[in-house]
Structure 1
Amino acid sequence: MVHLAPLILTEVILFLSYFAIPAINPAIFTSAEIRNHLTFNRRKQHAYSQNTRIRYFSSNLRPRSKTTDSEAEIECIATPTNDSSKSPKELSEESTSYSLELAGTALEFALLVSPFFFWGTAMVAMKEVLPKAGPFFVAAFRLIPSGFLLVGFAASRGLSFPSGIKAWLSISAFALIDATCFQGFLAQGLERTAAGLGSVIIDSQPLTVAILASLFFGESIGFIGAAGLLLGVVGLLLLEVPALDFDNNNFSLWGSGEWWMLLAAQSMAIGTVMVRWVSKYSDPVMATGWHMVIGGLPLMAISILNHDPVFGSFDKLTTSDVLALLYTSIFGSAISYGVYFYNATRGSLTKLSSLTFLTPMFASVFG
Structure 2
Amino acid sequence: METKLAESRLPFASLLLIAPFFLWGTAMVAMKGVMPQTTPLFMAGVRLVPAGVLVLLFAMLTGRPQPRTGSAWLWIGLFALVDGALFQGFLAEGLVRTSAGLGSVMIDSQPLAVAVLSLWLFQERIGLWGWLGLGIGVLGISFIGLPQEWITNLLAGGSIATSVDIHQLFQNGEWLMLLAALSMALGTVTIRIVCRYADPVVATGWHMILGGLPLFGLSAAVESEQWQQLDLSSWMALSYSTVFGSALAYGLFFYFAKAGSLTSLSSLTFLTPVFALLFGNIFLSETLAPYQWMGVCLTLVSIYLVNQRDILAKWLQSKKSVANPSTEKPSSENQPLLAPSELELAKVTVKIAESESEIWR
Shorter-chain TM-score category? 0.5 to 0.7
Determine the structure 2 residue equivalent to 1:317.
230
Question: Does structure 1 conserve the Cα–Cα contact (< 8 Å) formed by 2:110 and 2:181?
Answer: yes
Matched-pair contact (CA < 8 Å) for 1:203–1:356? yes
Structure 1 residue 175 and structure 2 residue 70: aligned?
no
Structure 1 residue 327: Cα displacement: 0.7
Query: In the superposition, relative to structure 1, how do residues 250 and 284 fare at CA in structure 2: closer, same or farther (>3 Å)?
Result: closer
TM-score (norm 2): 0.66
- Are 1:205 and 1:268, in contact at CA under 8 Å, matched by a contact in 2? yes
Alignment match of 1:128 (pick from 21, 27, 33):
33
- Residue number among 178, 181, 206 corresponding to 2:111 in the alignment: 206
- CA offsets 1:169-222 (integer angstroms, 9 cap, x no match): 110000000000000000010000011111111111111122223444454332
The equivalent residue for 1:331 is 244
Gaps of 5+ in 1: 1-20, 29-99
- Identical amino acids, percent of aligned pairs: 51
What letter matches 1:333 in structure 2? S
Give, as a single letter, the amino acid of the residue that structure 1 aligns with 2:90. F
Partner of 2:192, secondary structure, is helix
Flag the structure with larger Rg. 1
* Higher fraction of helix: 2
Distance 2:8 2:266 in 1: 25
Deviations 1:276-324 (A, max 9, x none): 211111111111000000000110011111223225x2xx422110110
**Following superposition of structure 1 onto structure 2, how do residues 282-293 of structure 1 map, counting pairs within 5 Å?**
282-293=198-209
> Which residue of structure 2 lines up, in the alignment, with residue 221 of structure 1?
126
Shift of 1:242: 3.0
Residue type at the aligned position of 2:207: H
Q: Tell me which of 267, 276, 281 is aligned to 2:197.
A: 281
Please tell me whether the aligned partners of residues 31 and 237 of structure 2 are also in contact (alpha carbons under 8 angstroms). Answer: yes
1 CA distance for matches of 2:262 and 2:46?
Answer: 28
Contact 1:147 1:288 (8 Å CA) reproduced: yes
Aligned to 1:256: 172
Q: Which of structures 1 and 2 has the larger relative contact order (alpha carbons within 8 angstroms, sep 6+)?
A: 2
Change (3 A) 1:356 1:243: farther
Matches within 5 A, 1:11-160: 24-25=2-3, 27=4, 100-101=6-7, 107=13, 113-160=18-65
Structure 1 length as normaliser, TM-score?
0.65
Is 1:267–2:183 an aligned residue pair? yes
**Structure 2 unmatched ranges of 5 or more:** 151-160, 281-361
Q: Distance in 2 between matches of 1:224 and 1:105?
A: 36
User: 1:153 corresponds to which letter in structure 2?
Assistant: F
* Distance (Å, rounded) in 2 between the aligned partners of 1:165 and 1:130: 38
Classify the secondary structure of the residue corresponding to 1:252. helix
Q: Deviations over 1:150-172 (max 9, x none)?
A: 10111011111111101101100
1:348/1:256 CA distance change after superposition, 3 Å: farther
| Contact persistence 2:8–2:259 (CA under 8 A) | no
Distance in 1 (alpha carbons) for counterparts of 2:69 and 2:212: 22
Q: Which of the numbers 93, 97, 119 marks the counterpart of 1:188?
A: 93
- After superposition, the Cα gap between the structure-2 partners of 1:168 and 1:303, relative to the gap in structure 1 and judged at 3 Å, is same
Amino acid at match of 1:265: A
Shift of 1:123: 0.6
Whole-angstrom CA distance in 2 between matches of 1:348 and 1:266: 26
Once the two structures are TM-superposed, the CA of residue 257 in structure 1 deviates from its matched residue by 0.6
Q: What is the CA distance between 1:337 and its match in structure 2?
A: 4.2
Kept in 2: contact 1:117–1:359 (CA 8 A): yes
The aligned counterpart of 1:14 is none
